[in-house]
A and B are shown apart, each in its own frame.
Chain A
């Protein structure tokens, strides 16, 4: 029997001695990514650009030291925090750089179009207002008047539209009775709705909120009050940015998984839509869906949840903390057995 006991012991040792590990091949090239997908901005505002650095396993490294630069500092300047101020309309490239711990210089860049914050228009025709005395005089006097002009006041750089939260300086011109440009008499500026647009007495306007206002500037010449008006539409600041990405979910295993997707920024947050052609195998246990920056692992990924729909259109509403460009991949993963079933690249 000692022989049998030894054999039994050998047996047990043989079978319970396994204590190994699985090495996950999770390397991905480090990447720096601008995550504010602006394409058009307007003059008169400043904009905060953001970028994220992901290391060689796709892990977000917070508080990275980024270097921002503009391809044309006459059009746009940007400081070290990514705060950009457009200076004039045009095209500009914004570039961000970082030096990785391995000494590699990583960069990303985007093209930005800067639009003017105002739409210029022709000056309004001057409006002459007459006093009561003048009207009486005209009625009494039957003799023809002399051929002098009525003095005029005009806005030389009038606008039809301005972007909210921006400032613009209006300029005046004054023509005297002889039609000569003359020094502008004291003028009075007023806005029909100061909650939408304010103006000071030097003609500097401050657009506040969307709407339409009539701006009036007037002055008194002798006994005549002359004025001119500028109807201005105030629009919300123009910031055009990418608001959705679409693509295809493809199987990376022998299990069926396919269908189109759209990741879109909606008014109530980010939503992942799966299209009508979506199909997934129901034979697979523990199928989960993730957002990740590493297509080879779910470590560091955001777990959306267990897959409960295997056929047809459906959607996942994501928390507000997630931005459109925070993750690069949608992953379908067999969670219990740590196997990638399929993936979709959200953007290149």
Chain B
């Protein structure tokens, strides 16, 4: 149900890890993994219901590179998505009702361009257009529910802003965006808002940050259980999630990062904490 949100959430967390607009020829790349295991979910009423334990594991490459004075090319490539469910076994008899199910495939790729709009009173502004490519499978696995993508082409348009600030003598940064995700194939469009703040410690060896991400569907889609074939798993999802990340610069240009996120509130998404990690390189 909520896989697409999870994908989106991962994507956003990776996207916003980037700092201001990169100089031409410079960039950032990350080979990462992300995992979520959930035995409950938020219903369409925002309440919590149980479900059979399902997991989603993603290996991905995230990259951004300056391709012009004010333009960055951004790509998120989930090249391996594993959607799985625990075996269902009778507690009374030990009988296997359903063996463990797994579906592996490509996820939905995201390709974007970020354009630097300029600076105003120490605030940096940029705009991003991200295209959600339906490269994943929207109907997959034994019953069609092991999707690796939502099957729709979407366009997320966002305005980003960020600034540096100090608390005491310590420097921090803050960044945020507001976005509108135009979804196709009967999916509801979405309003996105995001905020992140962080700082560097130990001579800039460690980056620590926290973020909030709110996705609000506009409920203007036509897709529901009466007219869809499994794809409603990713429709009308709502999430207000809190996350955090630690990134340790091991070398001059590379390091490792670990992150986590949990939905504080949601609709039609898994209620579980996700964990991520990866190796990044700056160039």
Contact = CB atoms under 8 A, between A and B. Distances in A.
B45 A254 contact: yes
B52 A57 contact: no
Interface string A11-49: 110111011111111110000000000000000000000
A285 B232 contact: yes
B9 interface: no
Interface in B67-110: 82, 84-93, 95, 97-98, 100
A255 B43 contact: yes
Contact of B1 (A22, A285, A299, A307): A285
Interface stretch (B14-22, B30-38, B125-133, B204-212): B30-38
A335 B53 CA distance: 13
| Interface size classification for chain B | 35 or more
A338 interface: yes
Contacts of A7: 256, 279
B216 to A, nearest CB: 16
A282 B145 contact: no
Contacts, number: 128
B51 interface: yes
Contact of B44 (A25, A255, A336): A255
Contacts of A24: 88-91, 97
Contacts of B57: 15-16
Contact of A26 (B84, B91, B256): B91
A336 B43 contact: no
A18 B279 contact: no
B35 A336 contact: no
A72 interface: no
Contacts of A336: 143-145, 230
A320 to B, nearest CB: 27
- Which of B88, B92, B250: most chain A Cβ within 10 A? B92
Contacts of A14: 35
A52 to B, nearest CB: 19
A340 B71 CA distance: 50
A287 to B, nearest CB: 6
Contacts of A237: none
B48 interface: yes
B159 to A, nearest CB: 31
Interface in B120-156: 143-145
Contacts of A334: 51
B9 to A, nearest CB: 16
A132 to B, nearest CB: 86
Interface string A216-232: 00000000000000000
Nearest to A23: B91
Task: Give the dominant DSSP class at A's interface.
Answer: loop
Contact of A285 (B45, B84, B91, B145): B145
A283 B269 CA distance: 12
A22 B33 contact: no
Contacts of B92: 25-27, 56-57
Contacts of A310: 225-226
B87 A21 contact: yes
A254 B31 contact: no
Q: How large is the interface on A (under 10, 10 to 19, 20 to 34, 35 or more residues)?
A: 35 or more
Contacts of B143: 286, 335-336
Contact of B52 (A12, A254, A337): A337
Given A285-B1, A286-B230, A337-B54, A299 B44 contact: no
Interface in A323-348: 334-339
A338 B38 CA distance: 13
A338 B98 contact: yes
A282 B268 CA distance: 12
A284 interface: yes
B59 to A, nearest CB: 8
A282 B224 contact: yes
B267 to A, nearest CB: 8
Given A18-B55, A283-B225, A283-B236, A254 B47 contact: yes
B262 interface: no
B49 interface: yes
A259 to B, nearest CB: 16
B277 interface: yes
A135 interface: no
B221 to A, nearest CB: 11
B25 interface: no
A253 interface: yes
B33 A11 contact: yes
B39 interface: yes
B226 A339 contact: no
Contact of A4 (B43, B55, B250): B250
Nearest to B224: A282
B107 to A, nearest CB: 15
B233 interface: yes
A297 interface: yes
A8 interface: yes
A241 interface: no
B191 interface: no
Nearest to B228: A285
A281 interface: yes
Nearest to B37: A18
A253 B49 contact: yes
Interface of A: 3-4, 7-8, 11-12, 14-16, 18-27, 56-57, 253-255, 281-287, 297, 299, 307-308, 310, 334-339
13 contacts: A11-B278, A21-B87, A24-B88, A24-B97, A253-B49, A254-B43, A281-B225, A282-B224, A283-B224, A283-B225, A285-B225, A286-B145, A334-B51
Given A15-B33, A18-B37, 4 more contacts: A11-B277, A299-B95, A336-B144, A338-B52
Which 7 pairs of residues, A with B, have the shortest CB-CB distance?
A336-B145, A283-B44, A254-B47, A338-B52, A282-B224, A337-B51, A254-B43
